[in-house]
Amino acid sequence: MRRPQLCDDTLRDGIQSPSVTDPRIDEKIELMRLMDVLGIDSIIVGLPAAGRRAYNDSLALVRAAADNQVKARINLAARTVIDDVKPIVEIAQKTGRAVTAYTFIGSSPIRLFVEGWTVSTLLERVKDAVAFALREGIDVCLVTEDTTRARPDVLEPLYRTAIDLGAKRLCLCDTVGHATPDGVRHLVSWTRNLIRQSGATIEVDWHGHNDRGLAVANSLAALEAGVDCVHGTALGMGERVGNAAMDQLLINLKLAGAYQPSLAALDQYRELAAAACKVPIPVNYPVFVRDAFRE
C-alpha cells in the first residue's frame, strides 16, 4: 500500500458526539500539535459558521498553526453556502495562513426529499459557494454528505461542476456508516473513472462513520481502491457511534509498512483526547489498553 494522506477531524466531527465535552482551546491547540508530530497531513480545525465559540476557536487554532509553523494542511468546514464560507475567508485573511474549505452538501435521496431540494438546487449552491471561495483565494474540497446512499445521476453533475469550477479535492462520505468494503471499492472506482474522463488532476478523500463497526476496514479499503486521503478522529469519536479511529488507522498502516513517521506520540495523543473530551477508553479497546497484553 502506498503512503496515504491522513486527515484528522477530531476537532470538528469528533466533538460533535453527543457524549463528549468540547475541549478548552489550549487542549485543542496541543492536540493539533500532536497530530502534526504524528505526521498527519491535514487537520479540520472547526466549522466557524456554527457560532461564536466555534468561530473563536477556529481562529485561535489557525493562528496557532501559523505561529507554530504547523506542517499539516489546515482545513475549515462549511455548508456549501456563501455565508458559511465568509468566516473562512475572514480567518485566512486575519491569520495569513492558507486554509482549505471543506464545503459539504447533502446528496442522498432522503436528504433531497426532506429538504425539498432538486439537483438544480444543489448545483446552484455549489456554483455560488465554490466560485466565491476560489475568488477569495481559498482552495475547496467539495464534500458530498451521505455519498454512499446517493444516486450516480446526482453525484456526477455535482462532481463535474466542482471540477470545472476548480475545486482541488472531492470527499466521499459514508455519513451513516452504511457501506461495506466492497461498496467502498465500487464507489471509489466509479469516482476515479469520472475524474479520468474529466481530464482533471484532483484528489479524493474518504470520510467514514462506524455505525456498522466497519469504519476502519472501510477506510483501508478506500485506500486500496485509490483514494488519496482518509479521515479519522481520536478514539473514533464523532456523531452517533463515531468515525474511523485515527489511532487504529495509524497502527494498521504502520504494520502494513505504509506509514513511515514515528508513532512515539500516539499514546499522548490518545490520552489527551480522552481526558480533554472526557471520553472513557473501554477496557477492550483495540491495541492500546492493558487487557490487550494479558489473559
Tell me which residue range forms the domain holding 247. 5-293
Q: What is the CATH number of the domain that holds 142?
A: 3.20.20.70
What pLDDT, on the 0 to 100 scale, is given for residue 3?
A: 85
The mean pLDDT value for 198-208 works out to 97
pLDDT in tens, 6-44: 999 999 999 999 999 999 999 999 999 999 999 999 999
Rounded to the nearest integer, the mean pLDDT of the chain is: 96
Q: Which is it for strands 169-174 and 203-208: parallel, antiparallel or unpaired?
A: parallel
Residue 1 has pLDDT above 70, yes or no: no
The region that residue 234 occupies, defined by phi over 0 for left and psi between -120 and 50 for alpha, beta otherwise, is: beta
CA dist list (Å): 112 to 97, 129, 146, 246:
35, 19, 11, 31
pLDDT in tens, 119-164: 999 999 999 999 999 999 999 999 999 999 999 999 999 999 999 9
- Enter the pTM of the model: 0.96
When divided into structural domains, the chain yields a total of: 1
Alpha helices in 38-77 (DSSP H): 52-67
Are 142 and 158 in contact, with CB atoms under 8 Å apart? yes
Strand, helix or coil at 233?
strand
